[in-house]
Amino acid sequence: MQEKKVQTAVASRQRNQLWLLEDLVREQERQETIEAPTVPAPPVPHMPYSALEGAQWGFLNPEQIQDFVERSNVAKSVAKMRSSGPPMIPPAPPPVPAQVPRTLPPPPRIPARVHRDRFQPYPPLQIMPFPAPVVHPAPMVFPPPVACPTQMVPKPAPTMARWIARGTPVPTEAPKTVPTEVRPRPSPMEQGPQMEWISSTLSENNHTFSSQAYQELACVLNASEESLTAPIQWQQQQVCMLAKKPTIERPIYLTSVTYRLWCFARRGPVQQWIQQTQNNTAWDKATPGNTCLQIAVNRLLKGEVSRCNKKHMIAILLDLETFYDCVDLQLLADRLCEAQFPPVVGALALQAYAGERHIISEDVLSEGIRPKRGIPAGCPLAITMARVFLAPILREASTCEGLAGLDTWVDDIGADFEDKRPAVVARQALTGYRVLAEGLKGSGLKISGTKTGFLASTKEARKELQALLKPDEPKIFHSMRDLGVDCALGRLRRVTHQKARVGKGKKRQGKLAKLKVPVEACKVRLFKGSICASMLWGHQAQGLPPSRVRDLRRAVALQVGLQKLGDLEVALSAEADRVSDPWATVVMQQVQEWFTALSRWGADQAPLERVWQQTATGFSEGTANWHHVKGPLAATVGHMTGLGWSLPGVMEWHRPEPRTVYNLEVAAERARVLQAIEEDVCAERSKRFAAKTACPTLANGLDWFVGRKVVRQLKAKGDMEKLVGLRAVWQGSLICEHNSPIKVCPCCKEPATWAHVLLHCQWWHQHGWELPSWFQEGLRDGDAGFWTRGLRPFAPNPTSQQVIRTGIWETQDRIEASGLTFSTDASGGPYTKDPRLRKVGVSVIAFEWKHGQPEEIGRIVSTLPGKQTVFRGELYGILLLLQGTVGTADATVDCLGVVSMLAHCKGKAHADLWATIKAEKHSRLKATWVASHLTPAQFVSRFGEDQAWRQQANEVADEACSSFAGSLVDAGFATRMHELDTVHKKVLDVLSERAARILGAKKLAAHPCVKAYLELREVQAAKRPTQAETVAGQKESKTTHKKHRGSGTNVGHGHAQTYQEWFEQLTQRS
């Protein structure tokens, strides 16, 4: 009876739960069917008809679209759109009459239905009506797709309540759509330009458009421009809210793929407009060729120079809150007309800005929002629009008295004022701020109260400005963040944000260590791309002191196998082919940034020279150190004097070894300075580990060719024990007298030297591990560093400079290039894979046309100065050709990297050659790339019959440089190197195996020195708890008497009473 009552109660409870769930489902369905109240759409901002009349460009052709698609990666974006599921089809727009009077307002927009599934493809392109001139063609309306069985919006997926109410288990995956039979898809010309067809074409053709798809896409874009009407996809934008701070979210707009493609296709007129207006908007620094770091460094440099030249400088740094969201669209349209911005681009972009926006938050899509203001942050034209919007305000501010500099980086504005009188510069700076603030507020923009402020380079200027400021105006800061960099105008050294970046990098390093990435190459790549980059960014502003550089070097070395007691210098040298030394990276980046700031300084370098002399003298005499570094100038001097260079002038630097003087007025000399810095860091590294190992022969560098090959072989075999042992031998990380307190071997009672521990200890004889006889002979007569550490000294193989000219170049240094054709090539010779023996030969061949075929009339063959690489040789061949010709030259080159980089004519790896090539006017060279080592049939099928003669020209150049490079090789030196390579490999096998035995031995059978070290560590660990208790007791005894002080005790640093204790005592007494 009791059980029946319980069952009845349970059944009743279940029925009540089901009724509640059914009520919940009904209420939810009722809420979904309720239509939102209709809100009148705001008027669409539009440009005046006078700006649009007659503004047409040439039509886009399919070839242009194909080029833009390939260069803008739009194919990958379009391919991500799924073609499955019924698409959303907007209603057809109403017909537009051919005549639209000018007095009529713009026709209302047709609201679009909202996507329920954010992964659905975009609807087909349709042209929507837009205000038009008097004679305006009717908008093009494409037919709806026929592949879809219904035009209804798909029903939303069941919610959690529905699944429970139905009594079915909640699915772990989204429900699969039921396949429906559809009619075959018609041809694109019959169907119209539809994104569904383009998406399916991309999927079927491996993410590449077909020629017909390019034609359809070109038709849509041309129709949009001709009718001045944006497709409906451009007017639908998704907004993702990303958390910036606990109280702030940053909107990121996802614009249409075709809109981004169109912006990319029409960037030519926009860039042309930027170039035409660049002289009138010199304050805008967010242009190609500039970085925000350069702007911040330039302001710091001006502060350094101003302070040392007895001047007073005040900087205003303004930050705008939610700048993009505050831009009034109608005001933007008016300013676009005033600035004579390309009208068609402006008109279509404004329509996209005024379209519906749908916010996505927590996978929920909002209803459409039609804004009156706001530039989408994801628009490719957003930065240009910001420039246009701020131009009138900044133009007025640029006329302020005493202005020494005005620059903007999108919404970050900085203005500098300088004068010899502090009262004058304070008055001018305050006037400039008020002009800027009035213009910005008048345009509806918000000035940030926390990120806006003044900076003063002297106390006098700060005092005068403080007396003039009103309570509601920004404060005067000692240091502020200027485009991500700490700025104090040379008055203080503040690196708060730099330290924060270092801390962020260390946190990432800890996360990377927890991941335990098994592949070392992946771990190194992650460290270089994320951790090291974040720790280094912005260091050029005030430099990194030696202590920070040392920490960074150790962090990098740990990623490439640095062991606990290992030598840092050897670890970095062994992995120099994979990671660069952070010391060299920091100094080179600092000097590069200094060269950039120097080129932008201007003609008057007398103030700069005065500060340079003062700073260089302080560092050379030891009266200045890194505490006095407050800007990029002092940081550059500190780094270069740390390498031993003397800096007598801004444009004259002296290298100690080899003794060299560099004139920095020449661009090629600046590139050679960067190469010399890398060489000096490598030389200093060699000297350090030569001193540690007491092997003077290692001071000239190490030969890692065989060692790196052995490491690769051990990794391929998976023999990690020998790999760790080999690194322990190189780094000297085994327990011995130079890295541990164990000074005497417990077994042999002899000094625990490295050689004794690894080779001569009785422990080896007890286990029967004897050294080979050939090893004992070499150890007795050879170099100790080679036989005990496996470190091989570098053997230099210098090349004397040779240039051989024949034919037409025998009598002339430069020949007329018109009517001739040329071919260049480079070869590393028979030992091109061995960097120690490689001797690169370079050839330039001149051909004359005879009977329709090229015939050789002269050649230049030469050795390669500097680093011996084939790429550098190919580049040097281009330089020889330019130096040996006059006028426009046609050249056949088989190095694609050189041909592709010739357009920009710059590169970090061979900056000296690039600078010289640029000085020779590289634009007069017409280089054509061909693939080498192909059969004639393969060449013709790839490049065409009309280019077959280039293969013959390239083969002549290849034969010339190969034979010349072969003649440069010293056969005897190569034989000796190969014999020594065989011995070196055997030595590394013996040493790595013995080190692996020491590291892999169990505790009872461990090496005597290792056992003694472990026992000593155990004793020390046992003493630590007792010492910690004693220290804690001493601290407690020292602070006990302070706890009984009265209620009026001061609270702060150094007092035992806390705020809570003081407050409790105060309340008890009251």
Residue entry with tokens 């991309």: 202
CA distances (Å), origin 95, targets 139, 224, 233, 629, 913: 8, 16, 19, 71, 64
Residue entry with tokens 């056992």: 1011
Q: Are 613 and 576 in contact (CB under 8 A)?
A: no
Within-domain flag for 111:
no
pTM across the whole model: 0.78
The span from the CA of 125 to the CA of 394, in Å, is: 40
Task: Classify the C-alpha dihedral 123-124-125-127 as positive or negative.
Answer: negative
DSSP 758: I
Helices (H) and strands (E) in the chain, counts: 39, 23
The span from the CA of 99 to the CA of 95, in Å, is: 12
- Beta carbons within 10 angstroms of residue 38's beta carbon: 7
Domain termination site, one of 487, 505, 529: 487
Within-domain flag for 55:
no
| Angle (nearest 5°) at CA 1047 between 1043 and 1053 | 60
Within-domain flag for 231:
no
Are 819 and 955 part of one and the same domain? yes
The radius of gyration of the chain's CA atoms, rounded to the nearest angstrom, is 37
58: left (phi over 0), alpha (psi -120 to 50) or beta: beta
DSSP 99: B
Are 809 and 764 part of one and the same domain? no
Within-domain flag for 175:
no
pLDDT at 820: 93
pLDDT at 721: 92
Q: Are 840 and 863 in contact (CB under 8 A)?
A: yes
CA distances (Å), origin 665, targets 640, 700, 958: 18, 32, 37
pLDDT at 1031: 60
Residue entry with tokens 């050789």: 856
Are 246 and 355 part of one and the same domain? yes
Are 685 and 610 part of one and the same domain? yes
The span from the CA of 1052 to the CA of 1056, in Å, is: 9
The span from the CA of 109 to the CA of 229, in Å, is: 11
Domain termination site, one of 910, 941, 968: 968
The span from the CA of 161 to the CA of 157, in Å, is: 11
CATH of the domain at 826: 3.30.420.10
The span from the CA of 1036 to the CA of 754, in Å, is: 47
What three-state secondary structure class fits 969?
coil
Domain termination site, one of 691, 707, 736: 691
pLDDT along the chain (1070 residues), means of 10: 61 60 56 50 56 54 60 49 36 40 37 35 38 35 33 34 35 37 36 39 46 81 87 88 81 88 88 89 88 93 91 94 91 92 91 90 84 88 93 93 92 93 94 94 91 93 93 92 92 91 91 88 89 92 92 93 91 92 94 93 88 90 84 94 92 92 91 93 92 88 94 92 94 90 90 92 89 89 87 89 92 91 94 93 94 91 93 94 93 92 84 90 91 91 91 94 93 93 95 92 84 88 71 55 43 48 54
Are 273 and 326 part of one and the same domain? yes
DSSP 82: -
Within-domain flag for 654:
yes
pLDDT at 625: 84
Runs of H (alpha helix) within 406-495: 422-442, 459-468
Q: Are 433 and 452 in contact (CB under 8 A)?
A: no
Are 735 and 854 part of one and the same domain? no
Q: Name which of 402, 451, 416 is nearest 299 in CA terms.
A: 416
Element (H, E) at 238: strand 236-245
Q: Residue 1002 sits in which domain range?
A: 722-792+976-1017
Are 766 and 740 part of one and the same domain? yes
> Number of folded domains in the chain?
5
Within-domain flag for 203:
no
Burial of 240 (0-12, 13-18, 19+ CB in 10 A): middle
Are 303 and 339 part of one and the same domain? yes
| Angle (nearest 5°) at CA 976 between 972 and 977 | 115
pLDDT at 57: 55
Strands 925-929, 480-482: pairing is unpaired
Burial of 457 (0-12, 13-18, 19+ CB in 10 A): buried
Within-domain flag for 703:
no
Are 784 and 808 part of one and the same domain? no
Q: Are 381 and 260 in contact (CB under 8 A)?
A: no
Are 572 and 477 part of one and the same domain? no
List, as one string, the DSSP characters of 1017-1058.
Answer: HHHHHHHHHHHHHHHHHHHHHHHGGGGG--TT---STT-S--
Q: Are 572 and 589 in contact (CB under 8 A)?
A: no
Q: Name which of 267, 350, 340 is nearest 68 in CA terms.
A: 267
What three-state secondary structure class fits 447?
strand
Within-domain flag for 362:
yes
Q: Are 845 and 822 in contact (CB under 8 A)?
A: yes
Q: Name which of 765, 767, 738, 763 is nearest 752 in CA terms.
A: 738
The span from the CA of 892 to the CA of 846, in Å, is: 11
Residue 580's identity, in one-letter code, is S
Residue 512 in tokens: 């990377």
What three-state secondary structure class fits 171?
coil
Q: Are 89 and 151 in contact (CB under 8 A)?
A: yes
Are 356 and 439 part of one and the same domain? yes
Are 889 and 762 part of one and the same domain? no
List, as one string, the DSSP characters of 105-161.
Answer: PPPPPPPPPPPSSTTSPPPPP-BPP----SB-PPPP-PPPPSS-S--SPPPPPP-HH
pLDDT at 605: 87
DSSP 280: T
